[in-house]
């Protein structure tokens, strides 16, 4: 499989996790791009859909890599692993999906 890889994380934070805690986690998540050379780009946002299909997920994170190998290196990188130990205890639900965008039909 060739082409860029998009790593998508959908998150629902546990009740009681403060706005300040979430902001710090997001800052730390975004900072990974400064420590892990395989990260091509990082974007995040909160759900703004009017369809009411979010199933409680409120935050979306997208990290882009040049290759599947770069994505694998990122997942195993000690800074990413350490961040995960901070993030996961604050989450009620999480979904992680990786995909290689297909060319238009």
* Domain residue spans of the chain: 5-99
> What are the tokens at 84?
């995960």
> What are the tokens at 33?
């791009």
- pLDDT-based confidence at 104, cuts 50/70/90? confident
Q: Could you confirm whether 29 is annotated as catalytic?
A: no
Tens digit of each residue's pLDDT (9 = 90 or more) over 36-79? 999 999 999 999 999 999 999 999 999 999 999 999 999 999 99
Altogether, the residues listed in the chain come to a count of 105
Burial class (CB in 10 A: 0-12, 13-18, 19+), 50: exposed
Q: What is the pLDDT of residue 1?
A: 63
Q: What is the pLDDT of residue 3?
A: 82
Residue 2 has pLDDT above 80, yes or no: no
Catalytic-labelled residue, pool 7, 29, 59, 74: 74
The domain defined by 5-99 folds into Alpha-Beta Plaits (3.30.70)
């Amino acid at each position: 499989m060739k082409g860029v890889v998009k790593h998508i994380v959908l998150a629902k934070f546990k009740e009681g996790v403060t706005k300040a805690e979430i902001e710090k986690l997001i800052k730390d998540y975004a900072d990974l791009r400064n420590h892990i050379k395989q990260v091509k780009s990082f974007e995040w946002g909160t759900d703004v859909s009017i369809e009411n299909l979010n199933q409680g997920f409120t935050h979306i994170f997208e990290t882009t890599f040049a290759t599947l190998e770069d994505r694998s290196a990122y997942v195993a990188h000690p800074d990413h692993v350490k961040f995960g130990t901070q993030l996961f205890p604050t989450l009620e639900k999480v979904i992680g999906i990786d995909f290689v965008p297909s060319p238009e039909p």
